[in-house]
Amino acid sequence: MGQAFQDLQVWQRAIEMTVTVYETTRSFPREEQYGLTSQLRRAAVSVASNIAEGRGRISQGEFRQFLGVAQGSNYEVQTQLIVARQLQMGEPEMLSRAENLSVEIAKMLSAFIASLATMKS
């Protein structure tokens, strides 16, 4: 069906965002270890994971569905970063870096999903 998932720029950016989220959440309060820290990390990992899983599927339609799930997880990341910022958790520069990557990923995923919608499965 095309290139390996590791070659997809959107997957590479999602990995970069995940690493940034992990680095950012290291400074979150300890009492958030099982709260916002865990939830944000899981959502971030889910973005790249769903892109990879979708690439391994047989049809374009299945791939598109997994990209949609990745987009949903990406929006979870954006929401949780907003909550973290409003609660003054994490370093503002790191939060901004994660937010910027997430916005870039959202645009890439939207374009990718749209391009797959015009192709036949």
Question: How large is the average pLDDT for residues 36-60?
Answer: 95
What average pLDDT is seen over the chain? 94
Tens digits of residue pLDDT in 52-91:
999 998 888 999 999 999 999 999 999 999 999 999 999 9
pLDDT at 121: 47
pLDDT-above-70 percentage for the chain: 97
- For the chain, list the domains and their CATH numbers: 5-117 (1.20.1440.60)
| 24-47 average pLDDT score | 95
How far is 77 from 47, CA to CA, in rounded Å? Answer: 9
User: Rounded to two decimals, what is the model's pTM?
Assistant: 0.92
